[in-house]
């Protein structure tokens, strides 16, 4: 597995095989620990796609991970698979002021995104009143509910 992942990621600082830090095997509470054979940190969609293809072809479970702030065990990996940590995919790609939409990579931190839109005179309108930690990455499914509004 190590050779294949390194042939995809081509940077051994972004592929962890030995001594995986326990934080990558759990959620924010750290109560439940899972198992994984590798943690990878892709920086492009192409790397994500190649890792997913390899995992699919070899029936290897993959656990995506944003900022790991969930409290429900949803980043506890099982089955000796691969943890796919997207936290290094943290670029804000586009803010479309006409449609109040933005295109961001899945590791963008909510706090950074908020500062970015505010620096352009916008603010993030939250559909739900609940507040998740600003450290949460934008990738986790629930952020889809948020929209953009300008301060006008
Ligand atoms: C202090 C505190 C307060 C919180 N308050 C709230 C709250 O008010 N409301 C709330 O709903 N939650 C809350 N949470 C939980 C958590 O912050 C949110 O669920 C947040 O959205 C998780 O984002 P994350 O990037 O850390 O996701 P992670 O914890 O990394 O992942 C969460 C889930 O999303 C999946 N995932 C992550 N990235 C991707 C991806 N790119 N593609 C596919 N799947 C992906 C993971 O596999 C996992 O199943 C809170 C947590 C803390 C610590």
Residue nearest to atom 28 of ligand 1 (CA): 68
Q: Which atom of ligand 1 is nearest to the CA of 72?
A: 15
Q: How far apart are CA 63 and CA 19, in angstroms?
A: 18
| Residue 123 near residue 151, CB atoms below 8 Å | yes
Classify 101 as helix, strand or coil. Answer: strand
Phi, psi for residue 27 in degrees, rounded to 5: -115, -165
At 56-87, the pLDDT tens digits run 999 999 999 999 999 999 999 988 999 999 99
| Residue 137 near residue 108, CB atoms below 8 Å | yes
pTM reported for the whole predicted model: 0.86
Instruction: Check whether 147 has a pLDDT greater than 60.
Output: no
89 CB near ligand 1 (under 6 Å): no
pLDDT confidence of 137, banded at 50, 70, 90? low
- Computed from CA positions of residues 110, 106, 128, 149, in that sequence, does the dihedral angle turn out positive or negative? positive
At 24-56, the pLDDT tens digits run 999 999 999 999 999 999 999 999 999 999 999
Pairing of strands 36-40, 15-16: antiparallel
């Amino acid at each position: 597995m190590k050779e294949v992942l390194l042939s995809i990621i081509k940077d051994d600082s972004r592929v962890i095989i030995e001594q995986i830090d326990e934080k990558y095997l759990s959620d924010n509470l750290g109560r439940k620990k899972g198992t994984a054979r590798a943690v990878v940190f892709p920086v492009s969609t192409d790397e994500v796609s190649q890792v997913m293809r390899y995992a699919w072809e070899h029936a290897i479970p993959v656990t995506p991970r944003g900022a790991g702030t969930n409290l429900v065990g949803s980043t506890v990996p099982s089955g000796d698979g691969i943890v796919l940590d997207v936290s290094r995919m943290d670029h804000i790609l586009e803010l479309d002021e006409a449609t109040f939409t933005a295109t961001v990579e899945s590791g963008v931190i909510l706090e950074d995104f908020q500062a970015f839109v505010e620096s352009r005179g916008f603010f993030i309108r939250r559909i739900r009143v609940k507040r998740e930690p600003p450290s949460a990455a934008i990738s986790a499914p629930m952020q889809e509910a948020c929209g953009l509004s300008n301060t006008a």
